[in-house]
Amino acid sequence: MFAVPCGPPGQPVVDSVSSNSIALHWNRPSDTGNGKLQDYIVEIKPTGSDWKVINVDPVRVPKVVVHGLKEGQEYQFRVKAVNEAGPGAPSTATGPVVARKPAGWSADNSRVFLSDVRCIPSSYSQHLPSRFSLHS
């Protein structure tokens, strides 16, 4: 008996977007061919370009964070499942996604202020400047 490739995984879903990365997840293929699902190939397509593989190392779980994106650039993503027969058919692609800072982001709200902290374990008191005191 010869190996049969996997069917397409579920369409990738965008979990989060930043100015230089996009997090995705997808469902395993319902048809794994006649072999064991080994890993996934993740592909990217910037607007006006061709599809290209972006993962050098195998992606073993159905989620990934794609780094190194260009802010303001529009991208699409798709995934292929791999078994002993090799890569299967690609998933349906995501819709166009633009790498950008999350809504409401500003340099001012990217810092954490001590006044924002509600609970500090007393063991951390040695790391605070002397002008701060912790009350039990």
Q: Residues 6 or more apart from 71 whose CB is under 8 A from it?
A: 19, 20, 99, 100, 101
Any idea which of 79-88, 104-113, 115-124 has the lowest mean pLDDT? 115-124
On the 0-12 / 13-18 / 19+ scale of CB atoms within 10 A, 46 is: middle
pLDDT > 80? residue 122? no
Q: Which domains occur in the chain, in start order? A: 13-102 (2.60.40.10)
- Token output for 67: 């780094």
d(CA 5, CA 31): 9
pTM above 0.95, yes or no: no
d(CA 135, CA 119): 10
d(CA 93, CA 124): 47
Q: How confident is the model at residue 3 (pLDDT cuts 50, 70, 90)?
A: confident
